[in-house]
Amino acid sequence: MIKRKNIIKVAIDSPAAAGAGTQAKLISKHYSLLHLDTGRIYRYVANIKISEPNKFNYKYLKKKINNLKISSLSNKKLLSDEVATVASIIAKDKIIRKLVYTFQLKCAYNPPKKYAGSCLDGRDICSVIMPDADVKLFITANLKTRAFRRYKELKYKNKNISYQEVLKSLKNRDKSDKNRNISPLKKTKDSILLNTSNLSIRRCFLKIKKIIDRKIDI
């Protein structure tokens, strides 16, 4: 794989609904970086398992992922809680992780020329996907805050789900993502911790901007 030189690489890991996606979007816009929400790839695979169960095998997935475009990842279907739950189950599969690895590497190290670099968010970005990123962040927030944020988000999208259900689902996903054998969610030693429980989107972004500006010497 070709690796573009002198690009800015920002890696973000976080548990679900901690605000990492929002920050990744803001960072990408501000610094002209290609943004990849890697959770969407696992959700994309999960959606195949749900909607095309008869076709769900490694060969079919390989073909789908080889032809995957970032634009296909914005399908609204991928946002449901059901898809999220199945995503965290299929994300434990070593072969599926291997299939989506190359797609992530291409986005991270060879973003289209119009971008100054890349910003990826997920669970194993600092540890597995971009261990040499210029800036590594671990964004978190307490469980109740995250559940409330996700609940509001799902309600806004007219999804029929209660706060208790969202809380339970996030708790299960946290457990599964942190304790799995392969690429578990964990903070790497060299990443900067940001707790967004009592931090507005704007204040969090300004903190991150300071970190990035210092690193890339603007």
Question: Residue for token digits 């307490």?
Answer: 142
What is the smallest separation between the CB atom of 209 and ligand C5P, expressed in angstroms?
23
Among 10, 11, 12, 42, binds ligand C5P (CB under 6 A): 42
- Residue 216 near residue 8 (C-beta atoms within 8 A): yes
Q: How far apart are CA 82 and CA 162, in angstroms?
A: 14
Window 70-129: residues binding ligand C5P (CB under 6 A): 84, 87-88, 91, 122-125
- The footprint of ligand C5P on this chain (CB under 6 A) covers a number of residues equal to 15
Q: 115 vs 177, which CB is nearer to ligand C5P?
A: 177
Q: How far apart are CA 23 and CA 204, in angstroms?
A: 8
**12 DSSP 8-state letter:** E
Q: 90 vs 216, which CB is nearer to ligand C5P?
A: 90
Window 139-178: residues binding ligand C5P (CB under 6 A): 173, 177
Binding of residue 47 to ligand C5P (CB under 6 A): no
Among 10, 27, 34, 39, binds ligand C5P (CB under 6 A): 39
Q: How far apart are CA 169 and CA 73, in angstroms?
A: 22
- Residue 49 near residue 83 (C-beta atoms within 8 A): no
**5 DSSP 8-state letter:** S
- Looking at 27-35, 39-47, 131-139, 193-201, which segment touches ligand C5P (CB under 6 A)? 39-47
Centroid of chain to Cα 53? 24
Binding of residue 16 to ligand C5P (CB under 6 A): yes
Strand partners for 136: 11
Interface residue list for ligand C5P (CB under 6 A): 16, 38-39, 42-43, 84, 87-88, 91, 122-125, 173, 177
